[in-house]
Structure 1
Amino acid sequence: MSHHGYKIKMLRRLKELGGRLEHVEAELGAEHSKDWEELAVEREGEEVLESLGAAGQAEIARILAALKRMTDGEYGYCVECGAEIAAERLNVLPETPLCHACASRHEAHRA
């Protein structure tokens, strides 16, 4: 898939997430000026919606960062080691900033 193909895939996903996040904000009775951390403090009893919101927010941040790397001509290369990210990996996770080896190292540290 070309960079253009990945871009379309990411933009579609952003649109899906945007809709979902608006729905979550509506469910929480959120005002758009409030950030998610403030909401989490105020709405502790609604963990399910909060986690969906936080996960969606994190995914949006990753997609926006990937689109910026595309604009900067750095897309498709690991931000950690500089190696080219395999096309198979980008097909599944077009927003990923890490090659498989670096991602595996991060997972091992978290476990």
Structure 2
Amino acid sequence: MYRVKRIYDDPATEDGFRVLVDRLWPRGLSRERAHIDLWLKEVAPSTELRRWFHHEAPLFDEFTARYEAELDANPTAVDQLRELGRTHPVVTLLVGARDPELNQGVVLERYLEHHP
């Protein structure tokens, strides 16, 4: 099972294996406080896509389509997450985004669940 959580939220035992899926390290957060098991930058949206989207709600549908196309073109990183999902009961995808519903973690979670 995959779930999405803000990296700024406190870690919890139910998070399972914690994977940071941002290309940039979250501002103001130490590595100790982050409690991540893996930083998988390769699965994050490209810098160009991240800058274009800039977390603007009206662009989210187009962002989703473009990000899914990037994921289709990046099977190695996606397969790494799939393998983690097979070996851990819970994999938490950590994002630095403020909006809990309009971010790459949400898109990535849906992608992993619906694109075998």
If the length of structure 2 is used for normalisation, what is the TM-score? 0.27
TM-score (norm 1): 0.28
Higher relative contact order (Cα pairs below 8 Å, separated by 6+ residues):
2
* Higher helix fraction (1 or 2): 1
More strand by share: 2
